[in-house]
Amino acid sequence: MNFPLDNPFYHFVYQLINTAGIGGLIVIVETILILIAVALSLRGITNGAKVDEPEVYAYPTPALHHHNGQD
């Protein structure tokens, strides 16, 4: 079942990507982009961990008010 390759455009794209040079170049570019994304994500996480801001909670909890369990 070669239905997509019956179309000349898909056949051209397949032959272009299936070559060793172009296919290898695409894999290298994708690898570089993934490594950049991972590095930027890790940099954002480390920068966020270094922020000197107090922790803010959306609602008060007994643990935050040193609750001793008696009302």
Q: Which two tokens stand for residue 45?
A: 């996480």
d(CA 31, CA 27): 6
Amino acid 67: pLDDT? 55
Amino acid 65: pLDDT? 62
Report the candidate in 57, 48, 7, 52 with the shortest Cα–Cα distance to residue 65.
57
pTM recorded for the entire structure? 0.54
Q: What are the residue boundaries of the structural domains of the chain, listed by start?
A: 1-71
- 9-49 pLDDT per residue, tens: 888 888 877 888 887 888 899 999 999 999 999 999 999 88
The answer, yes or no, to whether residue 63 has pLDDT greater than 60, is yes
